[in-house]
Amino acid sequence: MEFLHHGNTEIRQIGTISDQPPRHNTTYVLTTTTAAENLVGYSTAQPSLFKYNNLEPIKDLRLLIRGYAQIAHNAITMLINLSEDREILDILVADKTFVEDVLVRLTSPTEPNANLLSMLIANLAKSDPFAESLLSRKRDVPSPLSSSPVAIDQLLDLFVKGADGSYNKAADYDYLSYLFADSARHEAGRTHFLQPRKEDGDVVPLSKIVVFTEHKSDIRRRGVASTIKNCCFDSAAHAQLLKTDGEGGVNLLPYVLLPLMGPEDYSDEDTEGMLDELQLLPPDKSRESDKEIVKTHLETLLLLTTTREGRDRLRDVKVYPIIRELHMHSDDEEVQEACDRLVQVVMRDEEGEEKPLPPMLDGGGAGKMVQAAPEDDEDDEDEIVEVL
């Protein structure tokens, strides 16, 4: 720990004392192993050690993210692990200089530790005040990455433009999706994601990231799915979410429904009214493989049914056949239950209206979906996936 705090850069790099014979009349031969590297394991095994001398090691680690790439790598890794401690988290987010250091390095196209910094800032967003501060924090515009002076807008642009190493060859910024999900847990965050931004040509921020619901990275898909779901808690925004691009909306439904679909063929009756983006899918179309993401999308659709407009829209675009096929092809009990809950709401009669039940619903009044057997055979809405 004392090595981290030493005023001499060379000494801060010391992690061990070698047993090699002395050279150049020195008492010790210093190895190239860094103190930070030796301490990484302790950041998970014995995090209390880092509270030594009034958390002095934490103060040192905040400075070491400015160091050489390997030293910074180890320092950031330790801060990621240690930020799970609320006391340490509060100290980190209160240090405006440290936060700006993270943002400067994160938005640099040559930062070798950008993915680790994405994980770190996603962990920092577990602090509600920090998550909300990013919505109004002003900083220099990192041109050409972004045109907005607001930190959260810059991170959104980084997430979009930096996918698959297109902005920084050393990073994909997938973990920023977890930061967005945490931000959207708050009313102010949902408002920001759902309001057109003048600084960005009146683009609705959420519309920038919904396109990643079928991305190859499960981290990115999971974080985006949770962000969408959290935004849907704002029932007043459902109309905007359901409108198409041409109508000035987010056009959310295709991006939520496509991951739930496989290569199945639908009858003409089923496809009549179905969204154009959901028809004529290729024979190799695969359904989302992560059951937690599937459940998140089903919960999003269920949230959209809290308004009459949402229920009518889901009926009009033939959501029922899609959920029916998902239920039939899923062997996960929780996914099937989520399908049942959604269908009970979508297909039930509205007050004062009556209509026949669809064939895959039983007639016992419960509205439960029945899975056809093959021939000859057989609640926490606010929960967000932790980064680490």
**If you write DSSP's letter for every residue of 152-173 in order, what string do you get?**
HHHHHHHHHHTGGGSS-TT---
Asked if 209 and 156 touch (Cβ cutoff 8 Å), the reply is yes
Nearest to 134 by CA among 84, 188, 171: 188
- What's the average model confidence in pLDDT over 71-77? 90
Tens of pLDDT, residue by residue over 289-339, are 999 999 999 999 999 999 999 999 999 999 999 999 999 999 999 999 999
The confidence score (pLDDT) of residue 29 equals: 27
Looking at per-residue confidence, does 210 or 384 come out higher?
210
* pLDDT band for position 9 (cuts 50, 70, 90): low
Kindly report the pTM of this predicted structure.
Answer: 0.85
Residue 200 — very low, low, confident or very high, per pLDDT cuts 50/70/90? confident
CA–CA separation, 117 vs 92, rounded Å?
A: 13
Give, in order, the Cα–Cα distances in Å from 324 to each of 94, 343, 365, 370.
Answer: 49, 8, 18, 9
Over residues 270-280, mean pLDDT? 93
d(CA 221, CA 177): 8
* Mean pLDDT computed over every residue of the chain: 85
Answer yes or no: is pLDDT of 40 > 70: yes
Separation CA 201–CA 25 (nearest Å) = 67
| pLDDT at residue number 382 | 45
Give tens-digit pLDDT for 167-182: 999 999 999 999 999 9
| Exposed/middle/buried for residue 198 (C-beta within 10 Å: 0-12, 13-18, 19+) | exposed
Look at 247 and 380; give whichever has higher pLDDT. 247
- The answer to whether 160 touches 150, Cβ cutoff 8 Å, is no
Q: Pick from 195, 223, 229: which is nearest to 303 by CA?
A: 229
pLDDT in tens, 350-387: 876 666 555 544 433 333 443 333 344 434 444 433 43
Reply yes or no on whether the pLDDT at 120 is more than 70: yes
Query: How far apart (Å, rounded) are the C-alpha atoms in residues 248 and 241?
Result: 9
Q: Which of 136, 104, 224, 210 is nearest to 174 (CA)?
A: 224
Q: Please report the pLDDT score of residue 350 as a whole number.
A: 80
Query: Which regions of the chain does DSSP assign to beta strands (E)?
Result: none
Question: Looking at the predicted structure, is the pLDDT value of residue 146 above 50?
Answer: yes
Give me the mean pLDDT over the 56-75 stretch: 88
- Render the burial of 250-267: b for 16+ CB within 10 Å, e for the rest: bbbbbbbbbbbbeebebe
* Amino acid (1-letter code) at residue 180: F
- Torsion sign across C-alpha atoms 171, 172, 175, 176: positive
